[in-house]
C-alpha cells in the first residue's frame, strides 16, 4: 500500500549505476556477455537510465576493460539513456568511436581523493575536464558531472560545503547538464544534505540540475535521499543489489541498493517506472554470477516471495 507524503515529486528518475560503479569494485572481471545480459535485464525491469561502463585505461580498472566490446554487443538494445564514464580526452575519443550517446566526468571535492583517483590536484583535474566537456557537447553528447567526497573524506575528514559547491559550480559552468553529488564514503546525514542543496540553490545551481549519489556505509542513504527529494531533486543514483564501492577509497562501501530505493518510492506513491520483482530477480541473478549475496535489505526480504527462476532465466 502506498501512502503519499506531501512535498515529494510525482516521478523520480532512477539512475542505475550497477554495471559501472557496481562492477568496477568486484574482485574479478565478469565476462562481457554477462555484463551485456545484466544491462538487458535492468532495462527490461523498467530502468530507463543505465550507466554502462567506463572508458578508463584497462590497467586502471581491469574489471571494465571491455567497454568497446560491451557497447558493440548491446547495439540497439541499450536503454533510453546509456551514459559512460570518461576520464580524459583519450577516453572521450574512445567512447565516441564506440558509439556512446552520453558521457560523464568525475571530479573530486577534496585534494587527497583527486590525487588518488585522478593523479591531479582539484584545480588541475577541473582544467583537464573543461575540454572533455566542450568536445563532448560539440559532438552532440550530453555530459553529466560527478562530484565525489561531498560530505567526508577518509584522509581529510569533514569537507567544507563551500569547497563542494565550488567544484559543482565549475562543472555546471563547463556545460554539464546534470551534476551528481556523491557521498563517496557514506558519512553524510540529512542536515548536511539540506545545507549543501540550499547553498547550491543560493549560488544558482537548482535542484532541477542535480542528482544525488549516496553510499550506505552508516545506513543513511535512504534518509538522505528522502531529504533530497523534499528539496526538489528528482534524479537518484542507485545500484542493483547494492553493488559497488570505490577502488580508490577503501572505506567506500556499497551504493544505495536500487531495490531499497524503489521499495521506498513505491510506498510513497512516487512513480519510477521500475518493476520491482523483475529488478529483484535481476539482482539475485547477478549475485549468483558474483558468487556472493547482495547487501540489499529489500532484496533479502523479497527473495522468498519470488518464483523459482527457470533454466533460461538463471
List all residues 6 or more positions away from 59 whose beta carbon is below 8 Å from its beta carbon. Answer: none
Within 10 angstroms of residue 167's Cβ, the number of other Cβ atoms is 26
List all residues 6 or more positions away from 148 whose beta carbon is below 8 Å from its beta carbon. Answer: 106, 107, 108, 109, 113, 117, 182, 184, 246
CA-based torsion, 242, 17, 278, 30: positive or negative? negative
Catalytic residue among 56, 167, 246, 302: 246
Instruction: Give the position of cell 544491462.
Output: 39
Is residue 238 within 8 Å of residue 12, measured between CB atoms? Answer: no
Q: Could you give the count of Cα atoms lying within 13 Å of 54 in the half-sphere of its Cβ?
A: 23
What is the separation of C-alpha 146 from the centre of its chain, rounded to a whole number of angstroms?
Answer: 9
Measure the CA–CA gap between 66 and 88, rounded to whole angstroms.
17
Active site residue 150: no
What SS3 class is residue 244? coil
Catalytic residues, by residue number, are 246
Amino acid at each position: 500500500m502506498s501512502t503519499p507524503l506531501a512535498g515529494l515529486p510525482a516521478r523520480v528518475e532512477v539512475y542505475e549505476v550497477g554495471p559501472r560503479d557496481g562492477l568496477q569494485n568486484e574482485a574479478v572481471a565478469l565476462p562481457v556477455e554477462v555484463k551485456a545480459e545484466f544491462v538487458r535485464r535492468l532495462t527490461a525491469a523498467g530502468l530507463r537510465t543505465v550507466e554502462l561502463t567506463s572508458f578508463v585505461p584497462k590497467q586502471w580498472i581491469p574489471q571494465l576493460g571491455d567497454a568497446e566490446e560491451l557497447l558493440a554487443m548491446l547495439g540497439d538494445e541499450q536503454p533510453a539513456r546509456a551514459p559512460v564514464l570518461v576520464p580524459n580526452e583519450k577516453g572521450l575519443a574512445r567512447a565516441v568511436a564506440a558509439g556512446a550517446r552520453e558521457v560523464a566526468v568525475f571530479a573530486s571535492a577534496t585534494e587527497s581523493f583527486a590525487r588518488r583517483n585522478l593523479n591531479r590536484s582539484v584545480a588541475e583535474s577541473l582544467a583537464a575536464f573543461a575540454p572533455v566537456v566542450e568536445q563532448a557537447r560539440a559532438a552532440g553528447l550530453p555530459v553529466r558531472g560527478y562530484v565525489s567526497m561531498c560530505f567526508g573524506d577518509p584522509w581529510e575528514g569533514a569537507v567544507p560545503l563551500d569547497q563542494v559547491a565550488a567544484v559543482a559550480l565549475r562543472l555546471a559552468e563547463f556545460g554539464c547538464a546534470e551534476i551528481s553529488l556523491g557521498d563517496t564514503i557514506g558519512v553524510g546525514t540529512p542536515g548536511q544534505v539540506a545545507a549543501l542543496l540550499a547553498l547550491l540553490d543560493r549560488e544558482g545551481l537548482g535542484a532541477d540540475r542535480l542528482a544525488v549519489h549516496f553510499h550506505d556505509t552508516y545506513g543513511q542513504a535512504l534518509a538522505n535521499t528522502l531529504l533530497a527529494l523534499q528539496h526538489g531533486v528528482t534524479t537518484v543514483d542507485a545500484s542493483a543489489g547494492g553493488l559497488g564501492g570505490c577502488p580508490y577509497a577503501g572505506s567506500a562501501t556499497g551504493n544505495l541498493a536500487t531495490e531499497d530505493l524503489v521499495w521506498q518510492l513505491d510506498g510513497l506513491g512516487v512513480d519510477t517506472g521500475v518493476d520491482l520483482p523483475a529488478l529483484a530477480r535481476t539482482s539475485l541473478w547477478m549475485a549468483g554470477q558474483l558468487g556472493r549475496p547482495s547487501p540489499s535489505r529489500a532484496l533479502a526480504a523479497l527473495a522468498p516471495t519470488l518464483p523459482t527462476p527457470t533454466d533460461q532465466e538463471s
